[in-house]
């Protein structure tokens, strides 16, 4: 049978599907012979694959979390055997990123995706316009066993939705029951045409047929009778029964044996019925009165309440349900211990009947018509009809419908001729109708009512005249009938009708109507009661109507007002109107009072606020002053005009806004610039606007800020002042002397001040004045960091005084002035060439390397420099020469051997001349030896002799490399390297091999590119072989004339002792005392001979030089070199080269003196400690004094 496809919530919050499931399991299975329409409620039929056993009713049903994915669900249907049917499910894909997963099931577990075939087809489509996925299941040529419960499940990520539906396949009645149940309800064929059908036998395909044949006979009927309904499916699957529909129908026909209950002597009836609004009693009889009893409605426990009343009568337990409604239509169960019994309650709704019908009405125009009808039930739904058409009862309709208990009314206030007709009331249990007729009645009005405006407290008199005069009437105010009393007098004299009120009140205002009795016409007038507006400020209790509030708080000012009609209230601040819709500031009016609300008060809210009230009676104004007090504004950033060594002087201006309260004083804070922690300097308020912080650290940058204080609090801090550093000026420069004088310039030099201080030293200012004058002229517009300066633009022959000031952040130091005036006249200094030490020897470079030589010189005025090579001028295309005031540079980009020679440098100042010769040697690879010959062969030895090469590469030959090769393979192997002599004996040659030899010459550039090979080969003959056996070889031991002994005799050979070349280290060239120029690289060279190769250690002042990037050490062929990169005066001292091997050690020393040097300022910049700077300055002073 069909099941609900949508999970609507029942009143108790439980899903309807679960509630229906509970109902299904609590009802007896209907008889199969009863037609479907007679089965009653559709949810009382047990469906295959759904529901729980009766004893599991109260257990929670586990269902996955669901969300609404299906927008159209498959619906239950029925069909005939052999017909086709389709089921459709639709999913909206607007919020889905990919296609959802849809599965079709039959029963609880059969996935139909594996059953597709000629009887079942699954189809999926997607509409891109509507973005809807459509999933279809087509059943073709259905059979009886296709009937059952189906389920469609939709999943998308964590979302899940499903719906169940039933398919009923109508079939013919089956025969007698006396057949084998397993053969009667199993499939007729195995595979073939029925493959893929929608029964449960698909899971039994792979069973062995002999398993059924060999199985013992089992009475399946007995097993099914004793089993619970939820176990039928499992038993059918176990015994190969696939037609569960037929099986269930037969099970329903079998009479059931009622099991005797242990807890209930009498259970609930299967079903109860009660009329709506009635009362029902559910009674059970207990076998054990002590058992605890619980009642349930749709699985939810029922608690005692006025609606549900529980009664005990002996062993009977009664639940009374009062005033039954449609919500009480549900499944009920009662649990006694572990046993339960259930029933269903049906609530029947009774028809509404007419108790008192509508009476016919005949009236005149403008009269009020009221039709009344009484029905049997209170709150019933009825319809009013006029001439068969429903009467409109909207807001603007002239018909009013009302009900009072069981009575229903249709009211027509002002009847007209169009209201004539037949009116009826329709209820569910009957209809009542009546005829209404409206006639006209002439009426003459001599004097109508006049609109009036009356001040409050004044008398009110209304007067009208109508004809006929003897017609009484009624007075109405705002539709309400007016009755005479002590204050109100109603007078009727002939045609005159009068209404008098002694003292009018606000309640007397409104619409007044006089209605002549029996006439539809009426006379009306509007009465206005007015009262001048007033503002009641006395209730504020504020002096001078001034309200004071602290900024940031909420202000709500409520002021009572009066006036009739209700005055229009306007709040104004200046010319600006405050609206009710304001966000932060708004004005509101409630009846007899008006209010001004400021959510968060600000200083701009201070001022006079005006209230204006207006109505018909007049106008009233009042003003309220609001003062918002706040902390003052922060002062502006303070100024620090004067800074001392550990103090400063600061000033500031008061804040522009004092917060509405006088400034009481100030707080001062300071901090170090690199710090984030402020320190307060005063704990007592400072009344003045100046202050002098003290106890600051010299040289540390500081910042200060100010806080202003009033009665409300402390302001925010001011912006920090500009950073300042407590500093003191340096002492005066020292040792100011004249360094050089020309015809137009004077060069002076000095020493840095003895006391510099934390402010450091930014530079110097050099000033001069003509002797006899007092006007000092600043020579350098910008500070100079050097301690040497040249004053230019001077007049030749004049005398000047010079002074120097040291400048730092604190200012200028006292000046240092020359003791005597300086005559501006150039002094001739003879030239002198200071040839670097490495150029005093032959300067050697390889072919292709760059040559860059710097030769410093001295002389004044600027010397004239000339260069000659071998007495001839130098071609500028081959060699580049650049001259400066103090040095000359010779540069060769790519050296050639033709650049070798002696270069003569001449420096001339007037008649004074100085010369220097620099020997440049460009070397290249040597040529091969001229001739290599085999001098002798004996035993395993070969004696070779050769002559030196013609071309030595412009460098002495330092050695030879000898190689040998077997004639068979001609693979060359090195026998010895760096050999110095021109003859050698090659030993340990292999007997029987024939050898060729070749030789390379070597100089300081390396091995020669080619080698000279012996023309003849040398055969190493075994001792005792005759010369005839070696006749075919190219070379024999011709130089020695001897005859081989007879065969079998051995040749006597001489024994030689190997020379022992081991020796202790010995320096063949010592170190030489050297002078170096500061800033130019310097080298120290020596040579040592030792075997084995010694370990070389360089030391400065008896301390080993290790891993210092300023030094580079080389050792090649016994020549040891120490290179000092850009030496300074500190690199001067005693240098030692020490050689050590296993046989001993040796060392040589030299003294290195570095001339030139650095100024005090340069040493400070390099980070040299002060004690080393003092030591260096003292040593330099001593050297100058010695000179």
Q: What is the pLDDT of residue 1170?
A: 67
Q: Cβ distance 469 to 443 under 8 Å?
A: no
- pLDDT value at position 232? 76
Q: What is the pLDDT of residues 329-376, one digit of tens each?
A: 889 999 988 888 899 888 887 788 888 999 999 887 778 899 999 988
CB-based contacts of 16: which residues, under 8 Å, 6+ apart? 4, 6, 7, 8, 9, 10
Average pLDDT across the chain, whole number? 81
- 247: helix, strand or coil: helix
Identify the three-state secondary structure at position 1184: helix
Q: How far apart are CA 1141 and CA 866, in angstroms?
A: 50
pLDDT at 945 over 50: yes
- Three-state secondary structure of 163-180: EEEEEEEECCCCCCCCCC
pLDDT digits (tens, 9 = 90+) for 859-896: 888 899 999 988 888 888 888 999 998 999 999 999 99
The whole-number average pLDDT for the span 82-104 is: 87
* Beta-carbon contacts of residue 1093 (< 8 Å; ≥ 6 apart): 1141
pLDDT of residue 848 exceeding 50, the answer is yes
Segment 480-505 shows an average pLDDT of 90
Sole residue written with tokens 């003003």: 623
pLDDT tens column, 106-159: 887 788 887 888 888 888 998 888 889 999 999 988 888 888 889 999 998 878
pLDDT at residue number 89: 92
DSSP assignment of 944-1009, as one string?
Answer: EEE---S--TTS---EEEEEEEETTT--EEEEEEEE-SSEEEE--PPTT-EEEEEEEEEETTEE-S
Q: What is the pTM of this model?
A: 0.31
Predicted pLDDT at 739: 86
Higher pLDDT, 69 or 1145: 1145
Is residue 211 pLDDT above 60, yes or no?
A: no
Instruction: Quickly state the pLDDT bin for 443 (edges 50, 70, 90).
Output: confident
How much is the average pLDDT of 1124-1135?
Answer: 89
Of 291-295, 710-714, 1045-1049, least confident by mean pLDDT is 1045-1049
State the pLDDT at residue 1144: 93
The answer, yes or no, to whether residue 65 has pLDDT greater than 80, is: no
951 burial via Cβ count (<10 Å: 0-12, 13-18, 19+): middle
Q: Which CA distances in Å does 570 have to 540, 587, 598, 609?
A: 19, 8, 16, 10
Instruction: Give me the residue label for tokens 């559910």.
Output: 282
CB atoms under 10 Å from CB of 340, counted, come to 21
Nearest Cα neighbor of 520 from 420, 426, 387 is 420
Asked whether residue 1105 carries a pLDDT value surpassing 80, the answer given is: yes
788-815 residue pLDDT tens: 999 998 888 899 999 999 998 788 889 9
Kindly tell me the burial class for residue 380, based on how many C-beta atoms sit within 10 Å of its own C-beta (0-12, 13-18, 19 or more). middle
Q: How confident is the model at residue 1180 (pLDDT cuts 50, 70, 90)?
A: low
Instruction: Give the integer Cα–Cα distance in Å for 938 and 527.
Output: 160
pLDDT confidence of residue 39:
36
Range 925-944 average pLDDT: 91
Would you say residue 491 has pLDDT above 60? Answer: yes
DSSP string, 693-747: ---PPTT--EEEEEEEE-SS-BPPPPPPPPPB----PPPPPEEEEEEEE-SS-EE
CA distance 1098 to 1110: 13
Chain CA centroid to CA 421, Å: 78
Q: What is the pLDDT of residue 667?
A: 94
- Exposure string over 162-189, b if 16+ CB within 10 A, otherwise e: bbbbbbbbebeeeeeeeeebbebbbbee
Percentage with pLDDT > 90 across the chain: 32
The strand pairing partners of 341, in sequence order, are: 334
Collect all residues with Cβ–Cβ distance below 8 Å to 1012 and sequence separation of at least 6: 928, 929, 930, 931, 932, 946, 998, 999
Q: What pLDDT digit, counting tens, does each position of 377-422 carry? A: 887 888 899 988 888 888 788 888 988 888 899 998 888 778 899 9
For residue 1159, the model assigns a pLDDT of 64
Mean pLDDT of 739-754: 89
Look-up of token digits 């679960």: 18
pLDDT band at 1 (very low <50, low <70, confident <90, very high): very low
Query: Interior CA angle at 918 toward 915 and 919, to 5°?
Result: 145
What pLDDT is attached to residue 159? 83
HEC profile of 113-133: HHHCCCCEEEEEEEECCCCEE
Predicted confidence at residue 707, as pLDDT, reads 95
Range list of β-strands (E), 468-509: 473-477, 480-481, 488-493, 496-501
Q: For the segment 1146-1173, what is each residue's pLDDT rounded down to a tens digit?
A: 999 999 998 876 666 566 666 666 666 7
Asked if the model's pLDDT at residue 1029 lies above 50, the reply is no
CB 1020 within 8 A of CB 964: no
pLDDT score for 3: 39
Going by C-alpha positions, the residue among 1077, 1096, 1078, 1095 that lies closest to residue 1086 is 1096
* Band of residue 252 on the pLDDT scale cut at 50, 70, 90: low
- Contact of 161 with 63, CB cutoff 8 Å: no
Please provide the distance, in angstroms rounded to a whole number, between the alpha carbons at the two ends of the chain.
Answer: 130
Q: Residue 190 — pLDDT band, cuts 50, 70, 90?
A: very low
The pLDDT tens digits for 674-688 are 899 999 999 899 999
Which is it for strands 1074-1077 and 1144-1155: parallel, antiparallel or unpaired?
parallel
Span 553-574, average pLDDT: 88
Nearest to 1014 by CA among 930, 927, 938, 932: 932
Residue 613 backbone dihedrals phi, psi, to 5 degrees? -115, 135
Q: Exposure pattern of 892-922 as b/e (b: 16+ CB <10 Å)?
A: beebeeebbeebbbbbebeeeebebebebbb
The pLDDT value recorded for residue 1160 is: 63
pLDDT tens for each residue of 706-722:
999 999 899 999 999 99
pLDDT cut 70: percent of the chain above it: 83
pLDDT at 1066: 93
Residue 748 near residue 741 (C-beta atoms within 8 A): no
């Amino acid at each position: 049978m069909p099941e609900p496809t949508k999970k609507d919530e029942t009143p108790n919050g439980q899903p309807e599907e679960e509630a229906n499931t509970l109902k299904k399991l609590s009802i007896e299975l209907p008889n199969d012979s009863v037609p479907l329409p007679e089965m009653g409620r559709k949810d009382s039929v047990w469906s295959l694959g759904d529901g729980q056993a009766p004893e599991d009713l109260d257990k929670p049903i586990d269902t996955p979390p669901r969300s609404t994915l299906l927008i159209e669900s498959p619906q239950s249907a029925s069909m005939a055997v052999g017909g086709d049917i389709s089921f459709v499910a639709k999913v909206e894909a607007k919020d889905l990123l990919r296609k959802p997963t849809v599965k079709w099931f039959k029963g609880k577990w059969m996935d139909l995706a594996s059953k597709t075939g000629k009887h079942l087809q699954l189809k999926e489509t997607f509409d891109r316009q509507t973005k809807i996925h459509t999933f279809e299941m087509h059943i073709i040529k259905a059979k009886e066993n296709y009937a059952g419960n189906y389920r469609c499940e939709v999943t998308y990520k964590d979302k899940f939705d499903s719906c169940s539906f039933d398919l009923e396949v109508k079939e013919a009645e089956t025969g007698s029951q006396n057949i084998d149940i397993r053969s009667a309800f199993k499939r007729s064929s195995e595979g073939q045409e029925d493959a893929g059908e929608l029964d449960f036998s698909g899971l039994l395909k792979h069973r062995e047929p002999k398993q059924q044949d060999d199985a013992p006979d089992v009475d399946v009927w007995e097993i099914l009778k004793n089993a619970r309904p939820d176990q039928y499916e499992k038993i059918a699957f176990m015994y190969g029964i696939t037609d569960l529909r037929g099986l269930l129908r037969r099970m329903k026909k079998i009479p059931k044996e009622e099991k005797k209950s242990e807890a209930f002597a009498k259970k609930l009836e299967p079903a109860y019925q009660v009329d709506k609004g009635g009362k029902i009693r559910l009674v059970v009889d207990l076998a054990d009165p002590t058992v605890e009893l619980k009642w349930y409605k749709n699985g939810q426990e029922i608690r005692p309440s006025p609606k549900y009343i529980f009664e005990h009568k002996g062993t009977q337990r009664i639940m009374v349900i009062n005033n039954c409604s449609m919500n009480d239509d549900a499944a009920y169960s009662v649990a006694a211990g572990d046993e339960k019994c259930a029933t269903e309650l049906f609530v029947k709704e009774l028809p509404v009947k007419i108790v008192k019908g509508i009476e016919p009405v005949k009236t005149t125009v403008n009269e009020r018509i009221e039709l009344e009808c009484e029905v049997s039930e209170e709150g019933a739904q009825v319809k009013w009809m006029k001439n068969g058409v429903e009467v409109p009862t909207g807001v603007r309709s002239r018909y009013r419908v009302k009900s009072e208990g069981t009575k229903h009314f249709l009211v027509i206030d002002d009847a007209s001729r169009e209201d004539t007709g037949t009116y009826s009331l329709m209820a569910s249990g009957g209809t009542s109708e009546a005829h209404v007729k409206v006639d006209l009645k002439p009426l003459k009005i001599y004097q109508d009512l006049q609109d009036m405006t009356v001040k409050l407290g004044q008398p009110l008199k209304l007067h009208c005249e109508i004809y006929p005069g003897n017609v009484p009437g009624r007075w109405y105010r705002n539709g309400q009938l007016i009755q005479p009393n002590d204050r109100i007098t109603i007078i009727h004299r002939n045609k005159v009708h009068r209404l008098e009120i002694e003292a009018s009140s606000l309640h007397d205002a409104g619409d007044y109507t006089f209605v002549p009795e029996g006439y539809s016409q009426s006379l009306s007038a509007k009465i206005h009661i007015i009262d001048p507006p007033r503002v009641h400020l006395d209730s504020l209790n504020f002096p001078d109507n001034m309200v004071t509030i602290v900024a940031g708080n909420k202000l709500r000012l409520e002021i009572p007002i009066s006036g009739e009609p209700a005055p229009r209230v306007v709040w104004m601040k200046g010319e600006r109107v405050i609206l009710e819709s304001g966000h932060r500031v708004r004005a509101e009016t409630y009846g007899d009072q008006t209010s001004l609300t400021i959510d968060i008060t600000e200083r701009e809210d201070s001022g006079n606020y005006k209230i204006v009230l207006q109505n018909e009676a007049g106008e009233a104004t009042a003003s309220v002053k609001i003062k918002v007090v706040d902390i003052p504004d922060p002062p502006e950033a303070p100024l620090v005009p004067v800074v001392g060594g550990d103090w400063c002087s600061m000033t500031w201006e008061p804040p522009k806004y004092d917060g509405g309260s006088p400034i009481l004083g100030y707080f001062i804070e300071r901090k170090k610039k690199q710090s984030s922690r402020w320190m307060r300097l005063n704990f007592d308020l400072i009344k003045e606007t100046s202050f002098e912080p003290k106890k600051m650290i010299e040289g540390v940058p500081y910042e200060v800020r100010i806080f202003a204080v009033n009665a409300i609090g402390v302001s925010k801090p001011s912006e920090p002042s500009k950073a300042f550093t407590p500093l003191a000026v340096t002492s005066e420069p020292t040792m100011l002397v004249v360094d050089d004088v020309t015809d137009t310039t004077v060069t002076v030099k000095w020493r840095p001040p003895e006391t510099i201080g934390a402010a450091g030293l930014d530079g110097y200012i050099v000033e001069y004045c003509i002797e006899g004058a007092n006007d000092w002229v600043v020579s350098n517009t910008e500070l100079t960091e050097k301690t040497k300066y040249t004053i230019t633009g001077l007049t030749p022959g004049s005398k000047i005084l010079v002074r120097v000031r040291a400048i730092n952040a604190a200012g200028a130091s006292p000046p240092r002035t020359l003791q005597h005036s300086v005559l501006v006249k150039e002094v001739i200094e003879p030239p002198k060439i200071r040839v670097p030490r490495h150029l005093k020897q032959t300067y050697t470079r390889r072919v292709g390397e760059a040559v860059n030589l710097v030769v410093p010189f001295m002389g004044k005025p600027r010397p004239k420099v000339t260069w000659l090579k071998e007495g001839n001028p130098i071609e500028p295309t081959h060699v580049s020469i650049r001259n400066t005031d103090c040095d000359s540079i010779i540069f060769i980009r790519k050296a050639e051997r033709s650049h070798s020679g002696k270069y003569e440098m001449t420096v001339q100042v007037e008649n004074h001349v100085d010369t220097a010769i620099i020997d440049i040697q460009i070397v290249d690879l040597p040529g091969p030896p001229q001739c290599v010959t085999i001098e002798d062969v004996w035993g395993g030895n070969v004696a070779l002799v050769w002559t030196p090469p013609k071309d030595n590469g412009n460098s002495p030959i330092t050695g030879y490399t000898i190689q040998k090769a077997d004639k068979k393979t001609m693979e060359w192997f090195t026998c010895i390297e760096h050999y110095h002599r021109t003859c050698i004996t090659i030993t340990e040659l292999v007997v029987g091999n024939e050898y060729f030899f070749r030789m390379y010459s070597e100089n300081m550039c390396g091995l020669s590119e080619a080698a000279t090979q012996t023309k003849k080969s040398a055969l190493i003959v075994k001792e005792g072989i005759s010369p005839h056996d070696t006749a075919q070889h190219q070379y024999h031991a011709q130089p020695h004339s001897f005859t081989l002994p007879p065969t079998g005799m051995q040749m006597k050979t001489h024994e030689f002792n190997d020379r022992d070349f081991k020796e202790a280290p010995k320096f063949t060239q010592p170190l030489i005392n050297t002078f170096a120029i500061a800033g130019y690289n310097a080298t120290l060279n020596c040579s040592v001979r030792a075997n084995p190769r010694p370990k070389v250690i360089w030391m400065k002042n008896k301390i080993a030089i290790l891993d210092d990037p300023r030094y580079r050490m080389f050792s090649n062929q016994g020549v040891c070199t120490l290179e000092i990169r850009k030496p300074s005066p500190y690199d001067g001292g005693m240098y030692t080269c020490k050689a050590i091997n296993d046989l001993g050690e040796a060392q040589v020393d030299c003294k290195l003196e570095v001339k030139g040097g650095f100024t005090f300022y340069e040493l400070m910049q390099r980070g040299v400690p002060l004690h080393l700077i003092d030591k260096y300055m003292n040593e330099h002073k001593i050297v100058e004094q010695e000179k």
